[in-house]
Amino acid sequence: MLDCQVQFLEDAITAYAKTGQVPHPLGTRHPSIAPFQAFKARDAFIIIAAANDHLYRLMSKAMQRPDLASDARFATNALRNKNVDALETAMEESLAAKTVAEWIMIFEQAGVPAAPINNIAQIAADPQVKIRNMVVSVKDPIAGEISVAGNPIKVYGATENLNYAPPPELDQQRAENLAFLEQRHHG
pLDDT at 108: 98
H or E segment to which residue 126 belongs: none
Strand partners, 115: 47
Whether pLDDT at 187 is above 70: no
pLDDT at 62: 98
Helices 53-62 and 100-110 sit at what angle, rounded to 10 degrees?
A: 130
Q: Where are the domains of the chain?
A: 33-117, 122-186
Q: Would you place residue 3 in the very low, low, confident or very high pLDDT band (cuts 50, 70, 90)?
A: confident
Alpha-carbon distance 90 to 129, whole Å? 34
Q: So which residues are the catalytic ones?
A: 30
Whether pLDDT at 7 is above 90: no
Q: Which CATH architecture has domain 33-117?
A: 2-Layer Sandwich (3.30)
pLDDT at 26: 86
pLDDT at 10: 78
Residues of the chain with pLDDT > 70, as a percent, come to 99
Average pLDDT for the chain: 92
Helices (H) and strands (E) in the chain, counts: 10, 5
